[in-house]
Amino acid sequence: MLTVAETEKVLNAVRELRYRIFLFALYSMGMRLGECLSLKVSDIDSEKMQVHIRNAKGRKDRLVPLPQATLKALRFYWKTHRNPVMIFPNLRGAC
């Protein structure tokens, strides 16, 4: 497990915005890679400050807390591509 300082070093070393935000979301919400990759705009509930993770481990859904800083970062990143479905669409913009 990484310390907070080590995690900050890793995040600060990543230069491409897409990957930096992805890693930040992954770390801050304790998500698995596949869960974060398949994150949809509709999974984010900014009113309740939580994210609906679908088909998590054991094919179960779960809710995770959404930190304010993560919501802000996800909104900032989404504005760069505005995909109507996916938070992290593939590089060609497809779902």
pLDDT in tens, 6-32: 999 999 999 999 999 999 999 999 999
Q: Residue ranges of the chain with pLDDT lower than 70?
A: 92-95
Q: How many distinct helices (H) and strands (E) make up the chain?
A: 4, 3
What is the Cα–Cα distance from 7 to 56, expressed in whole angstroms?
Answer: 24
The answer to whether the beta carbons of residues 87 and 41 sit under 8 Å apart is: yes
Q: How far apart are CA 95 and CA 87, in angstroms?
A: 9
- Architecture category of domain 4-78 in CATH: Orthogonal Bundle (1.10)
Q: What is the pTM of this model?
A: 0.88
